C-alpha cells in the first residue's frame, strides 16, 4: 500500500499521532525566517550553564523571579498578557510565570526551525512536535495580527489591500499561517 503524501501546504494526520506536511523551498524559507524572528522578539533564554561555565541550580531556577511589568512592545504584550486585572496580582503572577512561558515559546519556535532544517520532501511531526508547531503558529499569528492591528471585528480591508500596500506581505503571511494552523488543528482533533 502506498503511503499517502501530505497535500502541499496542508497538514495531514499520520498513523501513531502527529502530522505531516509538504512545504516548498519558499514556504520553508518564510516559515523558518518567521520562527527565527519570533525567537529574537521573545529574547534570549538562559543557557545551559552560568557565565562562568558552572551548571545551573534547578532549585534556584524554580524560584527565579521574572519581570513584574508587562512588555512595552504591543506584540510581546499580546504574547504575554496580564493574567489579572488588578495590577498587584498581575505583577505577582507575571513575576513567577513569564520566564517559563517565554522558555516554552522559544522551545516551540526552535522546534519549527529544527524540523524545517531537517528538510526532506515531507516533514513528519510527532504528537509533541505537532503541539509545539501549533503553539509557534499561534504565536506567529498573534504577533503578525498585532503588527497589522487586526481586531476581533472582521477586517475586510486587509483582504482587499492593493499589491502596492507595504502591509500586503504581512497580511499574506498572516492568512497563510492561519491556514497552516487550521489544518494542523484538524489533524490533532479529527
- Inter-residue contact 46 to 35 (CB < 8 Å): no
Higher pLDDT, 1 or 190: 190
Average pLDDT, the chain: 83
pLDDT category at 180 given cuts 50, 70, 90 is very high
Distance CA 17, CA 126 (A): 7
Distance CA 175, CA 170 (A): 9
Q: What is residue 123's three-state secondary structure?
A: strand
Higher pLDDT, 48 or 165: 165
- Decide if pLDDT at 21 tops 70: yes
- Give residue limits of the domains in the chain: 14-44+55-188
- Inter-residue contact 135 to 108 (CB < 8 Å): yes
**53-105 residue pLDDT tens:** 456 565 555 556 666 677 789 998 898 887 877 777 778 887 778 888 999 99
The residues with which 19 forms a beta bridge, in sequence order, are 13, 125
Inter-helix orientation angle 25-42/168-188, to 10°: 90
Report the run of H or E that residue 13 belongs to, with start and end. strand 12-13
Quote the pTM value.
0.82
Distance CA 162, CA 39 (A): 30
**Which grid cell is 24?**
516548498
The residues with which 13 forms a beta bridge, in sequence order, are 19
Contacts of 35 (CB under 8 A, 6+ apart): 109, 110, 112, 113, 116, 136, 140
Amino acid at each position: 500500500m502506498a503511503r499517502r503524501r501530505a497535500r502541499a501546504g496542508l497538514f495531514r494526520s499520520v498513523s501513531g499521532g502527529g502530522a505531516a506536511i509538504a512545504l516548498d523551498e519558499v514556504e520553508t524559507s518564510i516559515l523558518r525566517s518567521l520562527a527565527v524572528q519570533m525567537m529574537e522578539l521573545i529574547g534570549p533564554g538562559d543557557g545551559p550553564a552560568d557565565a562562568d561555565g558552572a551548571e545551573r541550580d534547578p532549585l534556584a531556577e524554580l524560584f527565579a523571579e521574572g519581570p513584574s511589568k508587562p512588555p512595552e512592545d504591543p506584540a510581546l504584550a499580546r504574547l504575554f498578557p496580564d493574567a489579572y486585572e488588578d495590577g498587584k496580582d498581575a505583577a505577582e503572577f507575571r513575576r513567577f510565570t513569564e520566564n517559563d512561558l517565554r522558555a516554552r515559546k522559544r522551545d516551540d519556535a526552535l522546534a519549527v526551525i529544527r524540523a524545517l532544517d531537517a528538510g526532506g520532501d515531507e516533514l513528519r511531526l510527532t504528537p509533541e512536535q505537532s503541539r509545539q508547531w501549533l503553539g509557534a503558529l499561534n504565536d506567529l499569528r498573534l504577533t503578525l495580527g498585532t503588527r497589522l492591528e487586526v481586531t476581533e471585528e472582521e477586517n475586510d480591508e486587509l483582504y482587499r489591500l492593493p499589491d502596492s500596500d507595504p502591509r500586503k506581505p504581512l497580511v499574506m503571511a498572516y492568512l497563510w499561517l492561519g491556514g497552516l494552523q487550521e489544518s494542523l488543528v484538524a489533524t490533532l482533533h479529527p
